[in-house]
């Protein structure tokens, strides 16, 4: 509520930059009302997700505003996709420090506009506040899925195959590149990995095709091993994956070959935004059809099994000789502690 010398008023900013993003959604009322109205299509229910990102924590303080906007939106669309939901709309709360200029807001809105077109979603509401802290963005995304059909975390059965879309570890390796820790890479490979860190590619088209096929799913945001552990725990099972089957991009392979310690980074780093899912063996053919139809690699990497009786880690990683690998870390959590969840 403090005056912001660099910026026009809140209403002018909304009218100029954000109201145009709401034009295609009647229930957004042009952002001129106090709430939005949304209904699922017949036979569907709404799927709602929120995730916030904070400057200096989830993105570099000097990151370009359009990339920040797109990341904030995409991390939410990724969750909807992993649940099998078709994205429809989103809201944004934008907390801005005084130093922000109008050009930043313009670029932020341009980033949203770009991704709205790409993913077929519409802005339907939000809030702007000033903050003495860093740029902070909370996004709430709405999708829809057939009633009772979203793909849960906890539906895996013993004997199911574990699949992952796309490639794993690019974003985590990209962050290492940014920190100068992968000097062996050529420029093109390094840029590929860094781009994957800056800009998630949520599997929005693929996700809904998994409804009725996948027994459990989530998106890989905390890291492959941590997210597989989440899926295993809620499904009350264990998972065994084979490291040589995990799909890596060519740049990721180059990085790991140059420095084998980076295998752990790739398997346990976060920000992949691929879909990790399980499916019974009978679904293999339909999954192959989806892979062909959409041109997205879908790779089997292991299996769900009954948990060992005295279970300390529900995820085992086998190397190419079939022996278990020990990894330093199983990924990110937002706060310390909590080793057993």
Tell me whether residue 105 or residue 256 sits nearer to its own copies (CB atom). 105
Least distance to its own copies, CB of residue 196, Å: 18
Residue with tokens 């802005």: 123
Residue number, 129 or 158, with CB nearest to its own copies: 129
Instruction: State yes or no: residue 12 binds its own copies (CB under 8 A).
Output: yes
The two three-digit tokens of residue 313, written as one number? 């880690």
Minimum distance from residue 231 beta carbon to its own copies (Å): 10
Residues 137-156 that bind its own copies (CB under 8 A): 138, 140, 142-143, 145, 147, 150, 152-154
Binding-site string for its own copies from residue 258 to residue 277, where x marks contact by CB under 8 A and - marks none: --------------------
Query: 197, 159, 167: which is closest to 281 by C-alpha?
Result: 159
- Distance in Å, CB of 7 to its own copies, minimum: 5
The structure tokens listed for 325 are 């690998």
| Residue 304 · residue 159 · CB < 8 Å | yes
Residue 170 CB, shortest distance to its own copies, in Å, is 18
- 40 touching its own copies, by CB under 8 A: yes
Query: Using the rule CB under 8 A, is 310 a contact of its own copies?
Result: no
Query: Is 253 exposed, middle or buried (CB count within 10 Å of its CB: 0-12, 13-18, 19+)?
Result: middle
What would the x/- binding string for its own copies be over residues 191 to 230, using CB under 8 A?
Answer: ---------------------------xx-----------
- Number of residues interacting with its own copies: please give it, by CB under 8 A: 78
- State phi, psi for 290 to the nearest 5 degrees: -60, -40
Classify strands 86-96 and 122-130 as parallel, antiparallel or unpaired.
parallel
For 81, list phi and psi in degrees, rounded to 5: -60, -45
Could you tell me where the beta strands, DSSP code E, fall in 136-205? 136-146, 161-165
Residues 74 to 113 in contact with its own copies, rule: CB under 8 A: 79-80, 82-83, 85, 91, 93, 95
| Residue with Cβ nearer its own copies (187 or 337) | 337
| Bridge-based pairing state of the strands 298-305 and 161-165 | antiparallel
Which 3 state secondary structure label does DSSP give 214?
coil
Asked if 10 touches its own copies (CB under 8 A), the answer is yes
């Amino acid at each position: 509520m403090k005056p912001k010398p660099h910026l026009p008023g809140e209403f002018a900013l909304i009218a100029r930059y954000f109201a145009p993003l709401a034009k295609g959604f009647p229930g957004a009322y042009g952002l001129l009302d106090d709430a939005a109205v949304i209904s699922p299509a017949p036979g569907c229910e709404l799927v709602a997700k929120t995730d916030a990102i904070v400057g200096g924590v989830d993105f570099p303080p000097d990151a370009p505003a359009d990339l920040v906007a797109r990341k904030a939106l995409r991390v939410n669309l990724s969750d909807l996709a992993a649940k099998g939901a078709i994205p429809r709309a989103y809201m944004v709360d934008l907390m801005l420090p005084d130093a922000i200029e109008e050009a930043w807001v313009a670029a932020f809105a341009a980033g949203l506009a770009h991704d709205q077109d790409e993913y077929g979603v519409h802005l339907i509401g939000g809030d702007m506040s000033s903050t003495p802290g860093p740029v902070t963005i909370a996004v709430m995304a709405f999708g829809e899925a057939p009633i009772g059909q979203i793909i849960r975390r906890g539906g895996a059965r013993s004997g199911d195959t574990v699949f992952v879309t796309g490639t794993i570890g690019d974003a985590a390796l990209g962050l290492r590149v940014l920190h100068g820790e992968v000097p062996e890479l050529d420029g093109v490979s390094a840029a590929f990995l860094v781009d994957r860190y800056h800009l998630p590619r949520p599997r929005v088209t693929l996700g809904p095709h998994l409804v009725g096929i996948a027994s459990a799913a989530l998106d890989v945001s905390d890291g492959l091993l941590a997210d597989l552990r989440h899926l295993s725990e809620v499904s009350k099972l264990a998972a065994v994956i084979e490291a040589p089957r995990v799909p890596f991009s060519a740049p990721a392979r180059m990085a790991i070959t140059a420095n084998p310690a980076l295998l752990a980074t790739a398997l346990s780093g976060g920000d992949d935004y691929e879909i990790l899912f399980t499916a019974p063996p009978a679904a293999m053919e339909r999954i192959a059809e989806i892979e062909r139809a959409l041109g997205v690699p879908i790779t089997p990497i292991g299996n769900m099994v009954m948990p060992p009786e005295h279970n300390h880690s529900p995820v085992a990683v086998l190397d190419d000789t079939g022996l278990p690998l020990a990894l330093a870390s199983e990924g990110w959590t937002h706060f310390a502690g909590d080793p057993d969840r």
